[in-house]
Amino acid sequence: MDTKNKGFTSKLVHSGNIPDDKGSAVTPIYQTSTFSFRDADHGARCFSGEEKGYIYTRLGNPNIEELENAVADLENGFGGIAAASGMAAVNIVYLTLLSQGDHMIGHNALYGPSRGIMEKLYPKYGVEYDFVDATNIQEIENAIRPNTKLLYLETPANPTMGITDLEAAVNLAKKHDILVCVDNTFCSPYLQRPLDFGADIVLHSMTKFINGHADIVGGIIVAKDEALYNELKFVMINVGFNMDPHQAWLARRGLKTLSLRIDKAQENSVKVAEFLESHPKVDWVLYPGLKSHPQYELAVRQMDGPGAMISFGVKGGLEAGKKVMNNVKLALLAVSLGGIETLIQHPASMTHSKLSSEARETAGISDGLIRLSVGIENIEDIIADLDYALSKV
């Protein structure tokens, strides 16, 4: 179906779908590693690109293609490249855009491994980096060198909820011929579309909001133009970062209800953030929907909603925070985010524990920071759960 002039939720349901000859409402799962050719010439034409045809699942598969087309459409990009995980997507970007002697600037509060892999693995290949506070455009500008090739952003950032001004960052990068990649995992295309601000690449851990049901791991990259898409796809195919058809089918199914899920989780999050902010045992709350967020106005301008991620600190620091985590009963004490269930976790000892304590401190990931991914359960139950856990502090 042509979804060109359709609304966002109509696109969620219909975009990119590849109809089969049996009229199935839902595309069957093409759980196959390879596809047979009609004859030898057909095979040769598929390989040369003269004719479009499926060859081998690492190179392309209808379920994977449906998902890629849908997310690319939602992000207003040229094409999507699905990957086995969010981290595979991150590494496709790094491997494609950074060569020996190149320099990357990243936000200092990325998802732990997105920063950790750059610090630990890429220097071996002669790649240089600086991680700065990208919520301050001046800090990005100060870090630019003649060999800077990539500005890597995450906004809102995991787990500090820091927000980078995408328009200002892109304008600065363009002046210096630097490509911009934005990890849009915390928002999903429903709440923010970085390519519309001029970014070159947008990336997601589809494990989170896009799939939304905590039952797969997956990633995707969307490139703004064909040349960049081809370069990134070459690396995905040849390093073998591809997704599996069943994984893609589940992600495409989950994507259909993205707006409904986020609307509900976001409505809950606003109430949870307000509850936490007014609770006597809570020290601070960071949520883009609260006026107290340091970039509240930017969030209103740049995002279509504040999302469903909240960071907060309890009076009494880590020990008090542990009491909360150990006493929730509805929320799961678990990493990951963006699913229908409420999750609570402690970044300094969990998702960001592999970073040095200095890196955590400069990025604003304090030992007392607790991260909540708010789900779609009844709001009374979520608040009662947090209220009970806080009463144990």
Q: 224 or 371, CB closer to ligand LCS? A: 371
Question: 87, 163, 232, 282: which one contacts ligand LCS (CB under 6 A)?
Answer: 87
Question: 114, 155, 160, 268: which one contacts ligand LCS (CB under 6 A)?
Answer: 114
The phi, psi pair for 339, rounded to 5°, reads -100, -175
Question: 69, 158, 164, 192: which one contacts ligand LCS (CB under 6 A)?
Answer: 158
Q: 69 or 155, CB closer to ligand LCS? A: 155
Look at residues 94, 74, 73, 72 and name the one whose alpha carbon lies nearest to residue 82: 72
Query: If you write DSSP's letter for every residue of 247-285 in order, what string do you get?
Result: HHHHHHHHHTTHHHHHHHHHHHHHHHHHHHHH-TTEEEE
> Identity (one letter) of the amino acid at 331?
A
Q: How are beta strands 179-183 and 148-154 bridged, if at all?
A: parallel
Nearby residues of 344 by Cβ (< 8 Å), 6 or more positions away: 324, 325, 328, 331, 332, 333, 334, 370, 371, 372, 373
Catalytic-role residue among 111, 122, 129, 229: 111
Distance CA 22, CA 364 (A): 54
Question: 116, 336, 340, 354: which one contacts ligand LCS (CB under 6 A)?
Answer: 336
Stretch that binds ligand LCS, among 50-58, 303-311, 330-338, 359-367 (CB under 6 A): 330-338
Stretch that binds ligand LCS, among 13-21, 80-88, 94-102, 243-251 (CB under 6 A): 80-88
Q: 257 or 351, CB closer to ligand LCS? A: 351
Nearby residues of 6 by Cβ (< 8 Å), 6 or more positions away: 14, 15
Look at residues 213, 159, 217, 90 and name the one whose alpha carbon lies nearest to residue 349: 159
Q: Which of residues 189-248 bind ligand LCS (CB under 6 A)?
A: 205, 207, 217, 219
* Residue 54 annotated as catalytic: no
Q: 17 or 185, CB closer to ligand LCS? A: 185
Q: Provide the annotated active-site residues.
A: 58, 111, 183, 208
Residues that bind ligand LCS (CB under 6 A): 85-87, 111, 114, 154, 158, 183, 185, 205, 207, 217, 219, 335-337, 351
